[in-house]
Structure 1
Amino acid sequence: MSKIEIKDIDFGLCYEGYLWMSNENKPHVFSPAAVISHTPLETQNPFVVEGYLYNKEQGVSISIKSLDGELCIHRFDVQEADFEHENVKRILYLAHRMGNKKLEFLRYWTAKPNEACLGMEVLTVEKMVFVGFKE
């Protein structure tokens, strides 16, 4: 996971996902995957409130959140092996205002020492990564 800027997003790739603009009551959905424009990410008003984008071929997942007037953008590199890894679980969420689509995420777990458990390691969520839609 790395924090990136708008200029670091490869707009030449096709992404599956959505961008939810501040002046819209439902998101712009990209399913099937499509090339998206950088313009919505660069406007001050309306602005992107939330977005998730995933390119399956490159294994690139991008999370976009608007926090206190600034875009917080993170890039995750998803490996094919992650889908079968024992410390990664697939999670589906019913999408809001996107028809019958379900958002699919990979939940990555990692073992960390916990003082409340006498220093023994416990599994904690490391990250949640968007990997597309399920119908």
Structure 2
Amino acid sequence: MAQRPLILPWLVEQIDSRRYPGVCWTNQERTEFCIPWKHGLRQDSSEHDTLIFKAWAVASGSFREGVDRADPSIWKRNFRCALKAKRVEVVADHSNDSANPHKVYRLPGVQQRGPGSQDSAELGSDSQSQEELVIHW
């Protein structure tokens, strides 16, 4: 049996792939991202709205195509719980937006380091005015 992937590296790879409609980075630093979050009971909901959730279900081994019953609400719940367990923060919840329901998340361990901070000096930054982005997973 294949080893279950870690959600954060897997998710970054999926966002970078641009394979899923609406799944994208929302800032240049690639620390915040958008996930479409359409309610399953909406009249205009479709299979495309759950592709990222299904992909995580398949990758994590909780759903096997042709074996398990498809349940998009369970896929979404498991995806949300996996993010929460890794302390991925919801920055904006627009899931009730009728035109574009989505959530914006921030990766965990992202800190803006200002000029003159101890970490900035330790990293040997030659530009004291430049902020550094440090990500710890």
The TM-score normalised by the length of structure 2 is 0.30
The TM-score normalised by the length of structure 1 is 0.30
> Which protein is richer in helix relative to its size?
2
> Which protein is richer in strand relative to its size?
1
User: Higher Cα Rg: structure 1 or 2?
Assistant: 2
